[in-house]
Amino acid sequence: MTEHRVDTGSAHSARIYDYILGGDDHYPADREAGDAMCREWPALPVHMRANRDFMHRAVRYLAREAGIRQFLDIGTGIPTSPNLHEIAQGAAPGARVVYVDNDPLVLALSRRLLSGTPEGRTVYVEADMRDPAAVLGAPGFRDTLDLSEPVALTVIAIVHFMLDEHDAVGIVRRLLEPLPSGSCLAMSVGTADFAPDEVGRVAREYAARGMPMRLRTHAEAAEFFAGLDLAEPGVVQVHKWRPNRTDGTESGGESIRDEDIAMYGAVARKP
């Protein structure tokens, strides 16, 4: 059996995200990196919370309005609560969720990912999204999801860590390919369109710690959804995607400045 070691001496993107969101799964290197990034762009916590809120709203939409009962979450990261399965199964207790990540840290914390409802099912698959065949061929995927019924593919805040040579658009399309008509894609895609100087400095902080980024324009973000039917309002900054003005845990959208958000988000249906 392969031994998985968690490197606590170097900053890690998922732990930085967890730290800025107020989670508990981080180490001094992550806190140092997060603090340095926030000095470069003080709006970074607002941006990260808005991305998390987008994931919550998108999953609720998929479960409640689109009627999706199966979820394939790519690049799961640290299971900061409430995580995707909690949102999906809160709306539809019988929902089935497959989490996919190749990170030893996520593997170490995977028990928290598996505490779903008795009616539903929650599974963790260790695989790299850059190898779609490994994801789609994993026993946990095949045993959990019924490909005769629609599946929601969720790719949240991960493709900005995929460079041009990784062909992120091609990878997402290969993951979508076996999913039946009526399946959906929900994504958030990093951008520097609204605060190029500040976001550029944050990107340099990540790169200095071995985490280079590829930030995308609106047109590049829209490429992920080519051939799909976009739900309103289309590809927009995450705080503008169906903002929830009644739920106090969500941002609501009104008080967030565009220049404080560096992520596009959208949900689309496969014809």
Q: What is the DSSP letter of 160?
A: G
Query: pLDDT band for position 24 (50/70/90)?
Result: confident
pLDDT tens column, 110-164? 777 788 888 999 999 999 999 999 999 999 999 999 999 999 999 999 999 999 9
Q: Which residues pair with 100 in a beta bridge?
A: 74, 125
Query: pTM to 2 decimals?
Result: 0.92
The residue-averaged pLDDT of 255-269 equals 96
